[in-house]
Chain A
Amino acid sequence: MTTTFDLGALFRRFGLLIAIAVLVFGLALLSPQFLAVQNVLNLLLQATVNAIIAAGMTLVILTAGIDLSVGSVLALTAVITADVLQAGVPVVLAVVIGLGAGAVTGLVNGLLITLGRIPPFIATLGMMTLARGLALSYAQGRPITGLPDRFLLVGTSSMLGIPTPIWITAVVYGAGMFVLRRTVLGRYIYAIGNSSRAARFTGIPVRSATVAVYVISGALAALAGMILTARLNSAQPIMGLQYELNAIAAVVVGGAALSGGEGGLGGTFLGALLMAIIANAINILNISPFVAQVLQGSVILAALLLHGLSRRNQ
């Protein structure tokens, strides 16, 4: 049960690293432009939205929960943020409002799960429909375009030659790892995922910790939505369709178990990276986009079967 040296987890994480390394090596041979700085930055930039959503999803899945609402919440908060920006609200305040809206949807999810005792899958499935409907109603089905330049900087500016979204993702993962490893909440999250009942008996505030996790997931979905909106200079109520599935895929490819208590943000980041590399490769190598989903699905399967094998060989 020690979290400091878990050989199985180490092996699994290592396996994914090796898979990525082999893939990168192969792609570099196939296409010289793959490892060009511009392409690598581009690839990381493409990974940011999914990586940020997947970070929140990791915390949720660690508690043995799931959050199917993130794609819809992303769209809802994006149209809200864009709308208040157009109404002339200062950028910082608009960002806070957007993040707050995401947190509120997460709060509702968390309360339905803890107080309403609805299974997470079902509660967030309901929120998924609800938030999508709210986004469509709010924006009347139309995209909101023409946002202030200062907001667009969130997605388009660079610091030290590295695009801002990559910095934001780094901060999210840094903060997330700190929470998981160094704070009480992090320990609660793993404990709840291992056994919610045992956690309650040891006096862990299971309800508030669970609610906190869904609030974080909602806020991170909102953050990802802002990056997407800033890059597209447009907030669309149909944004983020099926993003929840991409995020879940990144988390499980990263070695987390849907049964909770097992996994971490490092693995999730690699999972999101792997998916971005595949998407990038399809682009560079001029593979038909129709193959993309088949490839991604197959890679998810392969990664999971490998996890299973390494787990059994322990």
Chain B
Amino acid sequence: MIPTVRRIVVRYSTFLILAALMLLFSLVSSRFLQVNNLLNIVDQSALLAIVAIGVTYTIISGGIDLSVGSVVALVGAVSAGLIVRAGLPVPVGILLGLVFGALLGLVNGLFVVYGRLQPFVATLAMMAIARGLTLLYTQGRPISGMGEAYTFFGSRLGPIPVSILVLLVVVLVSGTVLRRTPFGAYVYAVGGNEETTRLAGVAVSRVKLGAYAFSGLMAAVGGIILTARLWSAQPQAATGLELQAIAATVLGGASLMGGAGTILGTVAGALIMGVLANGLNLAGVSSYLQQVITGGIFILAVLLDMWTKRQKV
């Protein structure tokens, strides 16, 4: 029998780390816990959280998606380009951008499933290709002038940033799909033991394709939000975001071996990184030192997670 306290610590370690960091920063700076600052943190973390939720699907299925940063940039550029250059209405441009993102994810899935490539290298190649396509499409220059219907997604609705509302919808939908649908159960099953799942009669290929397409779709949502916030599509946007997304997912308790992970955990993981950046800023720590501290805390958090999990057995 495991004592209840320990079970709670193991199960909710991500949330405990988040709470501890928030407590720490609230002691460091009185501004930290102000409503506006907290909204800011969630607003700043929303992009990472949304993209990381997509990555979480691929990681639970036993894969990984390194292409999300490039897909964010490419979808941002293409949706902006369709509106600014081709003169399409904003909703159509956004919708086509989302479809395009899902298609890019689907291509990843096709390479993994039918090309039998390891997810790491297939999505690594997509990362290079999508970034290259972004540079080609934009000719290395930002695209701007999408209009207010587009930048709405980077603005505020009253006091609430729109990105937070989008994040809420994403969390609800992705959480429900993962927890309440057969597809969600299959994603866990495929990541847990692919062969057994196949033998149980599940169409493993389709589950994987779905996971990668969903990851592409989430990166596309992130691309729209980022482009709206910056009022322009930047060809170098979201470089390195894939690794942050994976870090958030891992902090959230997902296993890179597959079969484990939750949406709320991933959101908490993304919030940990947002809280760190915000709190260290308020504490006046230089951006260079922030990276050192972020890297250190990431390693410590994972060490702690590994250690608590080992106590179970």
Contact = CB atoms under 8 A, between A and B. Distances in A.
A160 B127 CA distance: 40
Interface of A: 68, 112, 116-119, 121-123, 125-134, 136-137, 140-141, 242, 245, 248-249, 252, 257-259, 288-298, 300-301, 304-305, 308, 312
Contacts of B208: none
B288 A133 contact: yes
Given A129-B291, A137-B288, 10 more contacts: A126-B247, A140-B288, A141-B288, A249-B124, A289-B135, A293-B128, A296-B132, A297-B132, A301-B115, A305-B111
Interface in B272-313: 286-296, 298-299, 302-303, 306, 310
B269 to A, nearest CB: 12
Interface residues of B, number: 45
Interface string B133-169: 1011001100000000000000000000000000000
A253 B169 CA distance: 40
Interface of B: 111, 115-118, 120-122, 124-129, 131-133, 135-136, 139-140, 240, 243, 246-247, 250, 256-257, 286-296, 298-299, 302-303, 306, 310
B172 to A, nearest CB: 28
A258 B121 CA distance: 9
A118 B247 CA distance: 13
5 contacts: A126-B298, A130-B295, A140-B288, A295-B132, A304-B121
B291 A301 contact: no
B290 A133 contact: yes
A289 B127 CA distance: 16
B139 A290 contact: yes
A301 B136 CA distance: 19
B298 A129 contact: yes
B286 A116 contact: no
Nearest to A132: B291
Contacts of B294: 129, 133
A127 B295 contact: yes
Nearest 4 CB-CB pairings of A with B? A133-B291, A130-B295, A293-B132, A297-B128
Contacts of A130: 291-292, 295-296, 299
Contacts of A117: 306, 310
Given A290-B140, A294-B128, A297-B128, A122 B250 contact: yes
A128 B243 CA distance: 10
A304 B247 CA distance: 27
A298 B120 CA distance: 15
A288 B136 contact: yes
A217 to B, nearest CB: 17
A141 to B, nearest CB: 6
B191 to A, nearest CB: 15
A125 B243 contact: yes
Nearest to A112: B299
A288 B136 CA distance: 9
